[in-house]
Amino acid sequence: MIFEVKEGNFAYKQGREILSKVSFSVKDGQILSILGANGAGKTTLLRCMLGLLPWSAGGSYLDGKDLRKIPSRELWKQIGYVPQAKPLSFVYTVKEMVVLGRSAHLRVWEQPGAEDWAVVEQCLKRVGISHLQDRLCSRISGGEYQLVLVARALAAKPSMLVLDEPESNLDFKNQRIVLDVIRRLCEEENLSAVLNTHYPEHALDISHLSLLLLPDGTSVFGSASEILTRESLEKAFDIPVYLEKVKIGQREYACVFPVSQPAEEKEETER
């Protein structure tokens, strides 16, 4: 499956353009990470690309077909969306939560049956949380809950996952676990993934492709290692950046952090 966004523009009714001519494409097995400063429109982009918010111009395409022309049940069988975890008024058990992912396969009057529960068991196993199936979603850790949401998205049997900041609000061990699950799904099961992240090092670590949103609404798209350079990150986040690659065992990791500007220097650059 190929997912594409072509020249997507978005602006709220009155006001500046938030996204301007955003284009990218993702194929099976690829991971695309979207980076940008707070307010650059990362979440807006995810919502637009999924049709949850209408593009002002341009569009999203699934295997060349305009997303707006795909019936919603068909669409959500192919794309699994993992939202940011929000507190809920009514708490369900892990199993009850994950089976909701079967909704796109069931008609309005249908209830999940044995087949759906089998898919739930299998999805819980794929993300490694089978032992939690009867626990309440409020009685598990934030990292475990994030995996529940991933399992719920998998339950639709999609060929692409879209994740909104999957590793935010987690400690670094749980960030590692969530990222590894995403990478494993893409490598072993040939799923594609699009994710928002605040961490350039995570993007460099797991993604093949990257889209960097710049403050003026434009964006750059390409292979992660080419796009996420010191210069472009400095431009996107408007702060000096330190970037170094470290090799540990067989894998190369990136070490990225912003550097604080001394007061006088800051004034000079502003001038």
Partner 1 sequence: MAEPFRGKGTEKMKGSNRKKGLWIAGTLGAIVLLSIAAIMVGRYAVSPRELLQAFFPGLFPGEEVPAAVQNVIFNIRIPRILLALLAGAGLSAAGGAFQALFSNPLATPDTLGVATGASFGAALGILLGLPGLLVQLCALGTGLLAVVLVYTLGQGKTGSSMIMMILSGMVISALFSALVSLVKYTADPQDVLPAITFWLMGSLTGTTRETLFMGAPLILLGMGILYVLRWKLNAMSLPEEEAASLGIPVKRIRWLTILGSAMITASVVSMCGLIGWVGLLIPHVSRMLFGNNNQSVIPASMGFGSIFMLVIDTVARSATAAEIPVSILTAVIGAPFFIGLLRKTGGIRT
Q: Can residue 8 be called a binding residue for partner 1 (CB under 8 A)?
A: no
Q: How far apart (Å, rounded) are the C-alpha atoms in residues 41 and 239?
A: 18
| Greatest Cα-to-Cα distance within the chain, rounded to the nearest angstrom | 68
Q: Are 186 and 205 in contact (CB under 8 A)?
A: no
Stretch touching partner 1 by CB under 8 A, among 56-64, 101-109, 191-199, 261-269 = 101-109
The CB-of-71 to partner 1 minimum distance in angstroms stands at 10
Cβ atoms within 10 Å, residue 110:
11
Q: Is the dihedral of CA 199, 204, 206, 207 positive or negative?
A: positive
Rg (CA), the chain: 20
Q: Can residue 14 be called a binding residue for partner 1 (CB under 8 A)?
A: no
Q: Can residue 91 be called a binding residue for partner 1 (CB under 8 A)?
A: yes
Residue 35 half-sphere exposure toward CB, CA atoms < 13 A: 25
* Choice between 15 and 262, CB closer to partner 1: 15
Q: How far apart (Å, rounded) are the C-alpha atoms in residues 146 and 206?
A: 18
The 159-198 site mask, x for binding partner 1 (CB under 8 A), equals ----------------------------------------
Helix H segments across the chain?
Answer: 42-49, 72-78, 94-99, 114-126, 142-154, 172-189, 200-206, 224-227, 230-237, 263-270
The CB-of-87 to partner 1 minimum distance in angstroms stands at 9
* Choice between 17 and 96, CB closer to partner 1: 96
* Choice between 32 and 129, CB closer to partner 1: 129
The CB-of-31 to partner 1 minimum distance in angstroms stands at 19
Q: Are 195 and 160 in contact (CB under 8 A)?
A: no
The 132-161 site mask, x for binding partner 1 (CB under 8 A), equals -xx-x-x-------------x---x-----
The 108-127 site mask, x for binding partner 1 (CB under 8 A), equals xx-xx--------x---x--
What are the structure tokens assigned to 53, written together? Answer: 């918010």
Q: Which residues of this chain interact with partner 1, rule CB under 8 A? A: 47, 50, 52, 72-73, 75-77, 81, 83, 86, 88-93, 96, 100-101, 103-105, 108-109, 111-112, 121, 125, 130, 133-134, 136, 138, 152, 156
